[in-house]
Amino acid sequence: MTRFSELMAKQTLLPIIQAQSTKQGVQIAQAMADAGLTLVEVVLRTEASLAALTAIKQEVPQLKVGAGTVIDARILNQALQAGADFIVTPATSKTLLTELASCGVPVLPGVSNTGDILLAYEHGYSEMKLFPASLSGGVPFLQAVSSVFRSVRFCPTGGVNQQNMQDYLSLSNVFAVGGTWVAPAKWVEQGNWQAITAACYQALNRQGAEMTHSVT
């Protein structure tokens, strides 16, 4: 099975797409792809999410597209049928981890405390999502657990933004950060796709002469 970090390659941002329609999902994804991203997560929090995931895979084929907010077997099966390239969960349980074991795609299980980390570790995972990161101890928590769970690496999500992302990425046990700050609801409602592209460029540390759009 491909490790989640291998799927991300050198991308250190896991951008989150929350779409209210299929078209909106494709537009957000295209804006992210225009910034050079190769992998995005569609959170399954709206009625349009599954259709948006499938449409993004068809219309923005250069992207790997995963499903987030997977909390049970029913949602997992729906995500896989929609074509999800990977699965992200907000939390863990023995039941969910058992279901995930045979899903056939990379999984990033969500944890929020040491008990969760141990449970996921016992099920064979060494890469996990810390969620909600800012409410689960943030950088100090990750620093504290690094000597206990020495082989575990994290992708913090929840409360991560452009201002603090480097604080997380500087940690030896963090391989990426996730968040919605690169595609806030305001920009999506305005159809401000250039702002999303610019924010993704900034998050990837790729701003320079080639990037002339301003994020407003």
pLDDT tens digits for range 61-71: 999 999 999 99
pLDDT band at 211 (very low <50, low <70, confident <90, very high): very low
pTM score, whole prediction: 0.93
- Among residues 118, 65, 64, 122, the alpha carbon closest in space to that of 98 is found at 122
Position 216 pLDDT exceeds 90:
no
Active-site amino acid positions: 41, 129
- pLDDT score recorded for residue 16: 97
Query: What's the rounded mean pLDDT across residues 137-151?
Result: 98
Is residue 97 classed as helix, strand or coil in its secondary structure? Answer: helix
**In whole angstroms, what is the distance from residue 188 CA to residue 204 CA?**
20
Task: Give the CA radius of gyration of the chain.
Answer: 16
Least confident interval from 1-15, 39-53, 73-87, 168-182: 1-15
- Among residues 13, 5, 53, 11, the alpha carbon closest in space to that of 181 is found at 13
